[in-house]
Amino acid sequence: MEQYELIKINKEDLVNNPAPRIPVCLCLDTSGSMNTIDGGDGVVNGQIVEIDGKKYRASTTGVSRIDRLNEGIKHLFETIRNDDSARFSVEICMVKFDSKAECILPFANIERQVEIPELVASNDAQGNSFMGEGVNLALDLLESRKQEYKDSGVDYMQPWLILMTDGEANGSQIVQQQAIERIERMVGNKKIVVFPIAIGSDAGIDTLKQFSPERQPLKLQDMKYNEFFQFISNMMIAKSNSGDGEKVRILLSDIKGWAEI
């Protein structure tokens, strides 16, 4: 679809559907380490590969982190579409980051987003993970969507940023600091809700903490992507049904079985 057609459709959606919106950006690590097989029935073929500065045994079968992430995202979209309130309120966009940051799914009515982009882990030998660039792009997209709501007279709730990574950020330090400072200002002014999610044991927890000044990063357990996205979709549904901007609270009982702090 041409860009101008998408813009026209998005504006029509805002006019025809006056429900208060919850804009959500999935900011997702697609660096080479997301090809890692965590558990499952992977069969090692004897080959050693180096990704993100670490060595891994190559696997011929099994399910990778990126495959599980794709499954979880599809589960999220299906759950939101099946709820009568959330499908009119929740709007999702997707940003991926590896050696660059890129929007792969712009904001739109979720019923129009029939084809969800398939994430593919980068084959970049450098193992780049430009997290700061990804977060900056995600914030730009959220700010732009908020302005479109204002221009159309549509109410909205606090935007959500879901940041998922299995490694350390290694892009521009200047860009990363800009993104961190933007997050700090927005969180301090109650302009955004951040969900930082660490995948695997090598995820940069300290870096994730800088992107989330109020909420501790959650460590995803045992490849439980579907459980995480079910939890997120349940919160979106509850938020869309309540129609208010109350602070999102996460209790330890909410994450039991799929994550730890």
pLDDT digits (tens, 9 = 90+) for 53-105: 554 444 455 789 999 999 999 999 999 999 999 999 999 999 999 999 999 99
> Nearest-CA neighbor of 202 among 75, 56, 80, 27?
56
Is pLDDT of 21 > 80?
yes
Distance CA 249, CA 91 (A): 20
157-196 per-position pLDDT tens digit: 999 999 999 999 999 999 999 999 999 999 999 999 999 9
Q: Which of 23-37, 104-118, 121-135, 243-257 has the lowest mean pLDDT?
A: 243-257
Average pLDDT, the chain: 86
% pLDDT > 70, the chain: 82
Task: Indicate the Cα dihedral angle 242, 244, 247, 251, nearest 10°.
Answer: 0
Angle at 252 between CA 250 and CA 254, to 5 degrees: 60
| pLDDT computed for residue 12 by the predictor | 66
DSSP 139-172: HHHHHHHHHHHHHHT--B---EEEEEESS---S-
246 band by pLDDT with thresholds 50, 70 and 90: low
Mean pLDDT of 19-23: 93
Q: What is d(CA 92, CA 104) in angstroms, rounded to the nearest whole number?
A: 11
What pLDDT does residue 123 have?
A: 87
Q: Given pLDDT bands bounded at 50, 70 and 90, which one contains residue 250?
A: confident
DSSP 113: -
